Amino acid sequence: MRYLLLIYGAENGAATQSEGEQRTMMDEYFQYTEALRSAGVMQGGEALQPTTTATTVVDDGGKPLVTDGPFAETREQLGGFYLLDVPDLDAAIEWGHKCPGARHGKIELRPVVEFS
């Protein structure tokens, strides 16, 4: 079963960390990514640019209405994701709990719809 593991956290959190703390966090993510790969459950994943680089598009009567920035104002922002292929939700939860972002933000696990 495939799950999207979404990593939410406060973007401004890195601004309060020292360079050493930021490097430690990145090392934890590199180790986590390698653990996912070694276990054979990672199908993809990426870190995302800050929400200040986002563009939102909606349909405005057949024409695109484009605005800068994210759609929703929230305390936590989507910072990255992994696409996992695991046996079940319990396995997805286990990997979600191991994600470094679970200590500083929230991890959302969303099943992927499998179209035939």
CATH number of the domain encompassing residue 41: 3.30.70.1060
Tell me, yes or no, whether 11 lies in a domain: yes
Mean pLDDT throughout 59-82?
Answer: 86
Instruction: Write the burial class of residue 73 (CB in 10 Å: 0-12 exposed, 13-18 middle, 19+ buried).
Output: exposed
Residue 41 maps to a domain: yes
Mean pLDDT rounded to a whole number for the chain: 92
The count of structural domains within the chain is: 1
Q: Which residues pair with 82 in a beta bridge?
A: 5, 45
Strands (E), 1-116: 2-9, 42-47, 55-60, 63-68, 77-85, 106-111
Domain holding 40, by residue range, is: 2-111
Within a domain: residue 44?
Answer: yes
- How much is the pLDDT for 71? 65
pLDDT of residue 21: 92
Task: Let me know if residue 116 belongs to a domain.
Answer: no
What value does the mean pLDDT take over residues 77-87? 96
